Amino acid sequence: MQHKTQLTLSFLLSQVLLLACAEDLECVPGFQQKVFYIEKPFEFREDRLILNLKFDDCQGNNKLNFEVSNPDFRVELDGNLVALKNVSEVGRALFVHARSEHAEDMAEIFILEANEKRGALKEILKLEGNLGIPRQKRAILATPILIPENQRPPFPRLVGKVIRSEGTEGVKFRLSGKGVDQDPKGIFRINEMNGDVSVTRTLDREAIASYELKVEVVDMNGKTLDGPVRLDVLVIDQNDNRPMFKEGPYIGHVMEGSATGTTVMSMAAFDADDAGTDNALLRYNILRQTPTKPSPNMFYIDPEKGDIVTVVSPALLDRETMESPKYELVIEAKDMGGMDVGLTGTATATILIDDKNDHAPEFTKKEFQATVKEGVTGVIVNLTVGDRDDPTTGAWRAVYSIINGNPGQSFEIHTNPQTNEGMLSVVKPLDYEISAFHTLLIKVENEDPLIPDITYGPSSTATVQITVEDVNEGPVFHPNPMAVTKQENIPVGSVVLTVNATDPDTLQHQTIRYSVYKDPAGWLEINPTNGTVGTTAVLDRESPFVHNNVYTALFLAIDSGNPPATGTGTLHITLEDVNDNVPSLYPTLAKVCDDAKDLRVVVLGASDKDLHPNTDPFKFELSKQSGPEKLWRINRLNNTHAQVILLQNLKKANYNIPISVTDSGKPPLTNTTELRLQVCTCKKSKMDCSASDALHISLTLILLSLLSLFCL
């Protein structure tokens, strides 16, 4: 029934073509029908007629030969298309190429699914533009031209013909479009007189799959008489492109022990040929596996999808027993559905067997020994373990912990990242006198958890026996640093304090002697036997060796060991201030013009090295002035400053003014300082004091002279 339907459909289409071309009796070389639609049967049966293709080169069909795009089919010399064997899958289309001594052409056979049959004939009759079937009344017949790609010379080669139903006398055919007068130019041309269409060069479907040309008929003056009408040129695919793997490198991972059938990775090749034909229908295959152990067929590739899966049992997929955890597969992709005539391309797929944590780390021995001197820190022993897992993963990297014997947190253990060993360290100095032996229990685990059916066993713990060696330790001062407060200026020979140092080596019964280590000012001494510290000089708070009222000295305590050990003690003496420094006055020189209008000569300040309350407020006083009139006075400005004021202009001279300053200490201290006052000549903002330097008039001399005159 299906075969009958196919023949009926083809027959009707043939009648349509005959009716459409009835007005044109001129022979057109090539297939008399170029496009066929048939319903896909359940199976194409061997040697059973599918349809008949009519080819005529208009010169007797000498040396006629047919080629079919699918090697499962052939066209006999009478044009009958038959299957060479029972075929169920052929794709969506077949292409038949016919070649004789004088012509060649291409026919296309579309295979319709059952649900497409109902409207097939209607669409064929309706869409004559797509099939190149002209209406009876049309003046120009331009059927589609099908040209195989990669044709060999000679060129130009006749590929089709445009027919004018009203004859060709006195007219010319004109061809235009992409491939003629548009880039790429010059591929096609038409015989102006008879409408023969030729191709001038080899075509590449992968570059351009089709051309849409325009053909028209013009008179000898170039005026359009008919058209333009569309002329389609379809480039028929040839299997001229090998499959290519473009997305490499291809690397897949699979966990060891994975179940059979586990998908590892997927391979995909690309074929530039027509995806609707067998030319791009790819099938995949594994050509070679390296290494070949434990099985030469560890993996399988789905020939259609390209998925690579495991095919061995989980027991064989054991990373630790493999020759190598890396497999390389040479994958072949072949077009034409994998048939022998197909073109091939290859790529290498690298598959890495990933490790899972199926082996617990184990100590190389149950007990480790270590010896350390008391008072020393650092690594004391390296604990070694073995692990069969991948050294680059957390399934191999070890994590150590101390699970017993470390109550004082004196020990720590860390992993050596290069060797995976456990580095056991002392982080708090050990004391032989407290404990000469320590026993630690160490546990080792992996960074990654073990798989569910694997557990940590007894070999994942070990004991470390640590022996502490006694050393002669230096005496220790109590307290350290030591602090005491004393007044400065205490009598020489005064006792500052008695230091106390003890020897940690209580089992050795050693004696201790003391000595001065650092005494910057040389003020102190120490009794070597009992540690009493005394003064050898006056303690001065204002000394440059005292910082922030604190004097610092260092002392040594030396035991009687062999060799002797030394301990250092620090003494801070806080010095209390006493009023032992007189105040000082500044500045001691002032200048004034002899015609000055502002007689405020200078502001004086006072300072004191002592501390409050032995400093300000200061009291400023002038020595008593005698004579008919007073020359100056002093006014207190604040606790630390006063101002000297002239009571009248003085002649150019030098004057020495005695000024006394008294601090607020108990008892107070007074200092008298002479202020040297220069009275100078001032002209045009320049001060000349040269003459005054030679006068040397002293207030004291003036007072004495006045007193002598008064006595006379």
Q: What is the model's pLDDT at position 632? A: 85
129-133 LR contacts (CB < 8 Å, sep 24+): 129/230, 131/34, 131/35, 132/34, 132/35, 132/232, 133/16, 133/17, 133/20
Residues 389 and 322 in one domain: no
Residues 95 and 153 in one domain: no
Cα–Cα dist 299/288, whole Å: 11
Domain annotation covers residue 400? yes
Residues 107 and 84 in one domain: yes
Domain annotation covers residue 5? no
Which DSSP string corresponds to 246-271?
A: -S--EEEEEETTPPTT-EEEE---B-
3-state secondary structure of 503: coil
Cα–Cα dist 157/30, whole Å: 13
Residues 465 and 497 in one domain: no
Q: How far apart are the first and last CA of the chain?
A: 173
- DSSP 8-state symbol, 135: P
Cα–Cα dist 124/105, whole Å: 21
Beta carbons within 8 Å of 321's beta carbon, 6+ residues apart: 294
Residues 429 and 502 in one domain: no
Stretches where the chain sits below pLDDT 70 are 1-26, 69, 71, 89-91, 114-138, 625-629, 691-712
Beta carbons within 8 Å of 396's beta carbon, 6+ residues apart: 355, 361, 387, 389, 390, 420, 446
Domain boundary among 196, 218, 236: 236
Domain annotation covers residue 281? yes
CA dihedral 442, 443, 444, 446 (to 10 degrees): -150
Residues 455 and 482 in one domain: no
Residue 681's nearest CA partner among 652, 644, 639, 640 is: 652
| 592 HSE (CA, 13 A, CB side) | 27
Residues 562 and 591 in one domain: no
Cα–Cα dist 548/543, whole Å: 11
Task: Name the pairing type of β-strands 224-236 and 145-148.
Answer: parallel
Residues 388 and 336 in one domain: no
Domain annotation covers residue 11? no
Question: How many structural domains comprise the chain?
Answer: 6
Cα–Cα dist 229/214, whole Å: 6
Domain boundary among 431, 449, 469: 469
Q: What is the model's pLDDT at position 357? A: 93
Residues 146 and 232 in one domain: yes
Residue 36's nearest CA partner among 77, 71, 78, 68 is: 68
Residue 446 CB neighbours (<10 A): 21
Domain annotation covers residue 659? yes
Residue 143's nearest CA partner among 121, 123, 128 is: 128
Whether the bond between 564 and the residue before it is cis, its omega within 30 degrees of 0, is no
- Provide the domain limits for residue 90: 30-113
Domain annotation covers residue 15? no
Partnered with residue 185 across adjacent β-strands are none
Domain annotation covers residue 74? yes
Residues 403 and 345 in one domain: no
Using the structure block, give the residue that is written with the tokens 């031209």: 145
Using the structure block, give the residue that is written with the tokens 């002649």: 651
Q: What is the model's pLDDT at position 619? A: 92
Residues 402 and 458 in one domain: yes
Domain annotation covers residue 120? no
Q: How many residues would you count in the chain?
A: 712
Domain boundary among 469, 495, 530: 469
Q: What is the model's pLDDT at position 34? A: 85
Residues 221 and 159 in one domain: yes
| CATH code: domain of residue 552 | 2.60.40.60
Q: What is the model's pLDDT at position 115? A: 60
